DNA sequence: CGGTGGATTGAGTGGCGTCAACCTGAGTGG
DNA sequence: CCACTCAGGTTGACGCCACTCAATCCACCG
């Protein structure tokens, strides 16, 4: 089974045999995490970065008053704290949502890549730039869309991200997130999440039973969220 | 007068003489923009990136229904679309708020830097990572803070960012943003922006007359916003 | 001196928050 | 095999924050 980071990057640009070999080589140290376990904590200074091989994680921040914010969701193939290579200390906590398998990649290996493999280094940079583009899109959605639009936007995005690493097809995917967590993602109350989900169901845009989400009408769903996948940079061009 | 990008990067790590020379060399082509003029538009593919030498810009996105979102504010020293080196096409539009002076840096020069100057390349990467950290912080603020907290957070952040490039001191700075634009930043209505500003004034946290904002009580202001400057990475460490 | 952009204020409304109860299915232990 | 627990989802009642619509005020400027 091929490394999901390679899968993810090769969606965006061709990797050479050597580049693939280097990436494989850096992902030898593996660690497992249980649901709800912190992978890295705000304030820590890291000596390695964590590549998510399997499972879902959230990037989150807890307030003094106990409220939580989730500022990112990560899936297979995401380098959940690649930025800790240059940013110190960690600005936010990363927590396992499901059981997770992570590769711990030493910063020294990454620094080696920036020294000797400029194209591969640009691809790693790219991966953090896509994260940033997703953040911007969430900011747009949070500020300007209705809660239903915001949820629709999230569902469209996650479907494409999962599809690009072979984790979704036929307009449906496994979504292991409770409505309480979703509230922290969308910045609304858990009760209102429930009503928002029902709104999308009532409009026959999605079905969501157990952990399975199925998009019933991609066109109307994406239109309702002003969703344009361009920001995900899912095309293979020289970078 | 020294290049504000050098100023900004040297807050975070030492640059060598050669690195400074290279940066100076890439910023020779200058272009001016008038207020409200688009600098780069969503959907365009760039051959150069724009370094903001003077003025303020917004990164923004307009919806089908005419609503606007502002996902970032940029000031002197910010590379407003450095990510266009690797992301194609531009995901959002960048617009001048005040008169702006920009250096247009060819992507080929930047790619050269990634090939032959790994440390400088990491510093450019760092600058996009700080942008991303700011996005995450805005997401947190937008989702979990009251509108007053959110505004307080923005004011704290901008003060430190401006101070780090010599554009603010003594807890006050020039803020050339109308309440209507601020509404697009905060994701609330212009009327509510006004009431939120008055709330901060009533609490004697800030004064804001004309384009001048003065922070009257940094401690209470930052506490009211759960503001922790760590995410701005304003300390000089090897990167 | 009227026009214009921006700030301010008031009135009425609705989306979303809180609180609280209730339902369901899965897991556990007697 | 059933009572119990618990997490997660669902629903209703009620209130407030923030929205919209509108009018007014002010400073600046051609």
Q: Does the CB of B86 fall within 7 Å of any strand C atom?
A: no
For the ranges B131-140, B152-161, B205-214, the lowest mean pLDDT is seen at B205-214
pLDDT value of residue B64? 78
SS3 of residue A59 by DSSP: strand
pLDDT value of residue B65? 79
Strand C positions with any atom < 7 Å from protein CB?
5-11, 15-20
With a pLDDT cut of 70, the percent of chain B lying above it is 100
Mean pLDDT of chain B: 94
Residue B170: pLDDT over 70: yes
Nucleotide D10's nearest residue (CA vs C1') is A194
- Considering all nucleic acid strands, name the nucleotide whose C1' atom is nearest to the C-alpha of residue A198: D10
b/e map of B140-169 (b: 16 or more CB within 10 Å)? bbbbbbebbbbbbbbbbbbbebbbbbebbe
At B67, the pLDDT band (50, 70, 90 cuts) reads confident
Distance (Å, rounded) from C-alpha A149 to C-alpha A40?
31
pLDDT value of residue A64? 78
Tokens at B29, concatenated: 């082509």
pLDDT value of residue A65? 79
pLDDT value of residue A1? 64
- Nearest-CA neighbor of A150 among A161, A159, A160, A139? A139
User: Which stretches of chain A drop beneath a pLDDT of 70?
Assistant: 1
pLDDT value of residue A75? 97
Q: Show Cβ contacts of residue B51 under 8 Å, excluding neighbours closer than 6 positions.
A: B5, B27, B77, B78, B79, B80, B102, B103, B104, B105
Residue B1: pLDDT over 70: no
Within 10 A of B189 (CB to CB), how many other CB atoms are there?
Answer: 13
pLDDT value of residue B118? 96
Average pLDDT over residues B177-196: 95
Question: Whose CB is within 7 A of strand D?
Answer: A 178-180, 190-191, 194-195, 197-198; B 146-147, 187-189, 191-192
* Distance measured from the CA of protein residue B184 to the C1' of nucleotide D24, in angstroms: 24
Strand-pairing partners, residue B206, are: B215
Strand-pairing partners, residue A74, are: A57
pLDDT digits (tens, 9 = 90+) for B80-113: 999 999 999 999 999 999 999 999 999 999 999 9
């Amino acid at each position: 089974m091929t490394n999901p980071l390679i899968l993810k990057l090769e969606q965006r640009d061709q990797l050479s045999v050597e580049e693939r070999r280097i990436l494989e080589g850096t992902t030898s140290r593996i660690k497992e995490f249980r649901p709800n376990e912190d992978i890295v904590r705000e304030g820590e200074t890291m000596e390695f970065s964590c590549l998510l091989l399997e499972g879902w994680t959230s990037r989150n921040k807890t307030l003094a008053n106990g409220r939580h914010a989730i500022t990112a969701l990560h899936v297979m193939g995401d380098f959940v704290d690649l930025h800790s290579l240059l940013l110190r200390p960690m600005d936010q906590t990363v927590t396992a949502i499901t059981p997770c398998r992570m590769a711990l990649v030493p910063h020294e290996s990454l620094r080696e890549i920036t020294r000797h493999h400029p194209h591969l280094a640009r691809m790693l940079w790219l991966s953090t730039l896509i994260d940033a583009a997703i953040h911007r899109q969430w900011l747009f959605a949070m500020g300007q869309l209705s809660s239903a639009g915001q949820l629709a936007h999230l569902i469209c995005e996650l479907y494409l991200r999962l599809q690009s690493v072979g984790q979704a097809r036929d307009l449906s995917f496994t979504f292991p997130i409770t409505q309480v967590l979703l509230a922290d993602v969308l910045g609304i109350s858990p009760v209102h999440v429930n009503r928002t989900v029902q709104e999308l169901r009532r409009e026959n845009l999605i079905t969501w039973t157990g952990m399975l989400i199925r998009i019933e009408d991609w066109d109307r769903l994406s239109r309702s969220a002003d969703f344009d996948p361009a920001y995900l940079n899912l095309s293979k061009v020289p970078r």
